Amino acid sequence: MTTNPGTRSTRAAGRALRLGGSLASVALTIAITLLGLVALTFFIGRIVPIDPVLTIVGEKAPPEVYDRVYRELGLDQPLITQFLYYLRDIARGDLGQSYTTDRAVLSDILRFFPATFELAVLGIIIGVALGVPAGVIAAVKRDTWVDHIVRIVALIGYSVPIFWLALMGLLVFYAKLQWVGGPGQLDIGYAYSYTRVTGFILVDTALSGDWAVFANAVSHIALPALLIGYYSMAYISRMTRSVMLEQLSSEYVLAARIKGASEYTVVVRHALRNAAIPLVTIVALSFGGLLEGSVLIETVFSWPGLGNYIAQSLLGGDMNAVLGGTLVVGTIFVLLNVGSDLLYRLLDPRTKAAAQ
Amino acid sequence: MTELLNVTGLTTSFHTSRGRVQAVRGVDLTVKPGEILGIVGESGSGKSVTCMSILRLLKRQGRIEGGSAVFDGRDLMELDEDALTDLRGNEIGVIFQDPMSSLNPTLTVGEQVIETVLRHRNIGRRAARARAVELFEMVRIPSAATRVDAYPHEFSGGMRQRVMIAIALACEPKLLIADEPTTALDVTIQRQILSLIKELQGRLGMAVILITHDLGVIAETADRVMVMYGGMVMEEAPVAEIFALPRHPYTRGLMASIPDPRTAGEGRLSPIPGTPPDMSDPPKGCPFAPRCPVAMRVCAEEMPRLYEAGGPANRSRCWLMDEAAPARAPYNTEDAA
Ligand SMILES: Nc1ncnc2c1ncn2[C@@H]1O[C@H](COP(=O)(O)OP(=O)(O)OP(=O)(O)O)[C@@H](O)[C@H]1O
Ligand code: SF4
Ligand SMILES: [Mg+2]
């Protein structure tokens, strides 16, 4: 309106410059963290008492075969050389061969990851949709019965083991009531009535155009999604409550009340707006937790996800698969953290300017 | 002239885990339209709680246990929440001590003025924004038209306090409550802010309650002064009279503890020895008795009432004002000056 256009454009330019600078420093952080992660998986791979040569050649192989494979794997080289080879392979996207599935680990991961991701996305949607409002209401109605109920529900989510809830859920809603589908992504009869396109079962079955298949997929994913959604909700509602309590007792909230702002304005426009900044990090952490902590749920529900894949590979002594999977999950976690940090800085006008 | 605000018997306590803290114990106060009432007293004497009780904006554990506060014909203690929010920010404006934390860091300063105007005035955003710029000019924020789009962190403390003043005055209130508006600022900025408040008060004709620790500020700014201690009014008088003739021993103590502008440089600063009473277990007699240099036996036993002392507008809560008190110089009223 009355703003001097000159000032505004210099400001925008300065902001863009600072953003560019902060992106560079973020890229450096990511690179260093990932290098650390790779080094970690590499050394874990060397320390574990599983002989990769034996896994390939078998117990009864003659010594010359053993030696040949030993050299082929580069195990006769010094550690640092091995590490550099390892880095080079990873940079090429080569995570090695899985001995149990006989496929490249990367293609295995790409195959199993969508199922995990789909479940985690549904979980975080449920967690945010229920957890944020619950936490806000609990904070506003602090120490009333509403608050107590929210806290008890969250506490149960914290203290009851997830596999137990999963088993109970299957027992009640699948075995007894028949409200939901059982383990797996589909009933056996539907397994071949859709084409895998994206790897997300809900998307692929919807694309198939057969609503019976889609409905079946929904009935299968409902229980695991609700369960991890519940866990995410427990965490998010608790964190939202405490962040909101802090904001509600701040001076600027009192100042808003003094201006005559309605309770809704005070809570949503002032307190929640400020709470949203730390909440971004909380939600990202919760999502990362859902991705990485899905092993138990995936095992109970025979869900063909990454957690299940890593767990099976571990049992089979398939270290390439285990380390490759760990590397991927770790990378996603790092990216989530960095992404939420960037978002955090963009949301907060103080760091938006200071992000240099 | 009839009063704008008439508070009687205001009593407020905080129910904490350590018990009941009696922050305000039966405060009476009046403010006339257009006058500046100064409230002084040491930390913890109940100045802020008195004002927040009048606005009915106490922290969670606070309870108003008695009294009335009639503002412009309505008892604020009886109003419902809707009527109260219509009044806050509209007919009563408030500025706090700490301008650093009383602005929302995620909204532009202009937005925080605009929302106040939109809340109470039936005008559009464009007009509200123009009003914000006008207010920024009024409180003398340089390049007001561009600065409305800045965020609080881009402002210095003094500038933020100007924003707070702009917000408080956005709807031209009849009463401005300024709770230590300059305590958190640099000395040079303090002067500017105070003279700004005084100037705007004159221009807009509103009444002001000015809370401060600083008797010098009162001397320069206020028309009338009320001295608080232990959640009670200790003394009340027109400013000229209280500086010429402080009647209450506590007021005298406060005055001895500030550098007198006339005797400045001599460095005779003697803060009152001792500490204010614990308000979760206040003394049953005069709250100042444990520290009072002229305390008598009755003082610790019985609470003195507020005596009329020296004029119809002068009150003093001290046994020395009682007819039965021994005529003791220099604390007797006549020859103290
Ligand atoms: N939220 C609270 N919980 C418990 N006690 C409180 C609370 N707020 C104030 N009090 C108590 O009420 C009494 C009066 O406090 P008040 O803030 O009104 O003092 P004040 O005169 O404004 O002091 P200052 O000059 O330090 O601002 C103090 O004893 C204080 O400890
Ligand atoms: S009543 Fe007694 S103790 Fe209190 S101020 Fe007067 S003389 Fe001092
Ligand atoms: Mg105070």
Here the ipTM equals 0.89
What gap in Å lies between CA A128 and CA A130, rounded to an integer? Answer: 5
- Whether residue B268 is predicted with pLDDT greater than 70 in this model: the reply is no
- Whether residue B248 is predicted with pLDDT greater than 70 in this model: the reply is yes
Amino acid at B205: G
CB-based contact A286:A232 (threshold 8 Å) = yes
What gap in Å lies between CA B257 and CA B270, rounded to an integer? Answer: 5
* Pick from A250, A259, A347: CB nearest B119: A259
Q: Where are the alpha helices (DSSP H) in chain A?
A: 5-47, 52-57, 63-72, 79-91, 105-140, 145-159, 162-169, 201-207, 211-248, 251-258, 263-264, 273-292, 295-300, 306-315, 319-347, 349-354
**Over the stretch A83-120, which tens digit does the pLDDT of each residue have?**
888 888 888 888 888 877 888 889 999 999 999 999 99
Quick check: CB of B272 below 6 Å from ligand 2? no
What gap in Å lies between CA B175 and CA B209, rounded to an integer? Answer: 8
What gap in Å lies between CA A82 and CA A88, rounded to an integer? Answer: 10
Q: Which residue of chain B comes nearest to A1, CA vs CA?
A: B145
The enclosing domain of A350 has a CATH number of: 1.10.3720.10
Contact state of B103 with A252 under an 8 Å Cβ cutoff: yes
Distance B182 CA to ligand 3 centre (A): 12
Q: Which residue of chain A comes nearest to B151, CA vs CA?
A: A349
Residue B189's pLDDT is 87
Q: Which residues of A are less than 8 Å from B93 in CB distance?
A: 258
Mean predicted confidence (pLDDT) in B11-38:
94
In a domain, B200, yes or no: no
CA distance A135 to chain B (A): 19
Using a pLDDT cut of 70, give the percent of chain A over it. Answer: 93
Q: Which two tokens stand for residue B15?
A: 């129910």
Coil, strand or helix at A50: coil
Beta-carbon contacts of residue A330 (< 8 Å; ≥ 6 apart): A37, A41
In a domain, A56, yes or no: no
Number of domains in chain B: 1
Residue where the block lists tokens 């402080």: B246
Quick check: CB of B307 below 6 Å from ligand 2? no
In a domain, B114, yes or no: yes
- Whether residue A326 is predicted with pLDDT greater than 70 in this model: the reply is yes
Which of the four pLDDT bands, split at 50, 70 and 90, describes residue A13? low
What gap in Å lies between CA A46 and CA B281, rounded to an integer? Answer: 69
- Residues whose CB is under 5 A from ligand 3 (ion)? B 48
Residue B20's pLDDT is 93
Coil, strand or helix at A203: helix
CB-based contact B320:B331 (threshold 8 Å) = yes
Task: Name the phi and psi angles at A139, rounded to 5.
Answer: -70, -40
| Domain around B149 | 100-170
What gap in Å lies between CA A194 and CA A216, rounded to an integer? Answer: 12
CB pairs under 8 A between A and B: 86
Number of domains in chain A: 1
| Domain around A158 | 107-355
Q: Is A217 exposed, middle or buried (0-12, 13-18, 19+ CB in 10 A)?
A: buried
Contact state of A255 with B146 under an 8 Å Cβ cutoff: no
CB-based contact B219:B232 (threshold 8 Å) = no
Distance A126 CA to ligand 3 centre (A): 45
- Whether residue B222 is predicted with pLDDT greater than 60 in this model: the reply is yes
Quick check: CB of B286 below 6 Å from ligand 2? yes
CB-based contact B109:B163 (threshold 8 Å) = yes
Which of the four pLDDT bands, split at 50, 70 and 90, describes residue B188? confident
In a domain, A342, yes or no: yes
Which of the four pLDDT bands, split at 50, 70 and 90, describes residue A8? low
Contact state of A255 with B87 under an 8 Å Cβ cutoff: no
* Pick from B101, B133, B154: CB nearest A251: B101
Which of the four pLDDT bands, split at 50, 70 and 90, describes residue A355? low
In a domain, B147, yes or no: yes
CA distance A132 to chain B (A): 19
Quick check: CB of B294 below 6 Å from ligand 2? yes
Distance B10 CA to ligand 1 centre (A): 15
**Over the stretch A130-153, which tens digit does the pLDDT of each residue have?**
999 999 999 999 999 999 999 999
* Pick from A249, A274, A353: CB nearest B104: A274
CB-based contact A294:A228 (threshold 8 Å) = yes
Which residues of A sit within 8 Å Cβ distance of B?
A: 1-4, 7, 142, 249-252, 254-262, 265, 269-270, 273-274, 277, 347-350, 353
Task: Name the phi and psi angles at B238, rounded to 5.
Answer: -60, 145
Sign of the C-alpha dihedral, residues A52, A56, A62, A67? negative
Residue B78's pLDDT is 94
Q: Which two tokens stand for residue A313?
A: 């590979």
In a domain, A25, yes or no: no
Instruction: Please count the other Cβ atoms lying within 10 Å of the Cβ belonging to residue B92.
Output: 28
What gap in Å lies between CA A325 and CA A110, rounded to an integer? Answer: 10
In a domain, B160, yes or no: yes
Task: Report yes or no: B134 at the A interface, CB cutoff 8 Å.
Answer: no
Contact state of A349 with B86 under an 8 Å Cβ cutoff: no
In a domain, B53, yes or no: no
Predicted structure pTM score: 0.84
Instruction: Please count the other Cβ atoms lying within 10 Å of the Cβ belonging to residue A93.
Output: 9
Quick check: CB of B249 below 6 Å from ligand 2? yes
In a domain, A42, yes or no: no
Quick one: which H or E segment has residue A144?
none
Q: Which residues of B are less than 8 Å from A1 in CB distance?
A: 129
In a domain, A247, yes or no: yes
Quick one: which H or E segment has residue B11?
strand B5-16
CA distance A154 to chain B (A): 24
Which of A2, A243, A251, A259 best tests the B interface by mutation, with the highest count of B CBs <10 A? A259
In a domain, A307, yes or no: yes
- Lowest average pLDDT, out of A124-133, A264-273, B216-225, B316-325, goes to B316-325
Nearest ligand to the C-alpha of residue B281? 1
Q: Which residues of B are less than 8 Å from A2 in CB distance?
A: 133, 145-146
**Over the stretch A184-209, which tens digit does the pLDDT of each residue have?**
888 888 888 888 888 899 999 988 88
> Across-strand partners of B307?
B316
Buried b (16+ CB within 10 A) or exposed e, A6-24: eeeeeeeeeeeeebeebee
Mean predicted confidence (pLDDT) in B8-27:
94
CA distance A350 to chain B (A): 6
What gap in Å lies between CA A135 and CA A238, rounded to an integer? Answer: 6
Contact state of B87 with A260 under an 8 Å Cβ cutoff: yes
**Over the stretch B73-124, which tens digit does the pLDDT of each residue have?**
999 999 999 999 999 999 999 998 887 789 999 999 999 999 999 999 999 9
DSSP structural state of residue A104: B
Instruction: Please count the other Cβ atoms lying within 10 Å of the Cβ belonging to residue A225.
Output: 22
Distance A57 CA to ligand 1 centre (A): 79
- Whether residue A73 is predicted with pLDDT greater than 80 in this model: the reply is no
In a domain, B311, yes or no: no
Q: Where are the alpha helices (DSSP H) in A141-294?
A: 145-159, 162-169, 201-207, 211-248, 251-258, 263-264, 273-292
Which of the four pLDDT bands, split at 50, 70 and 90, describes residue B262? low
What gap in Å lies between CA A292 and CA A295, rounded to an integer? Answer: 7
Which of the four pLDDT bands, split at 50, 70 and 90, describes residue B135? very high
Quick one: which H or E segment has residue B295?
none
Residue with the smallest CA separation from ligand 1 atom 1 is B59
Contact state of A252 with B89 under an 8 Å Cβ cutoff: no
Contact state of A1 with B129 under an 8 Å Cβ cutoff: yes
In a domain, B156, yes or no: yes
Residue where the block lists tokens 């009150």: B315
In a domain, B112, yes or no: yes
Using a pLDDT cut of 90, give the percent of chain A over it. Answer: 36
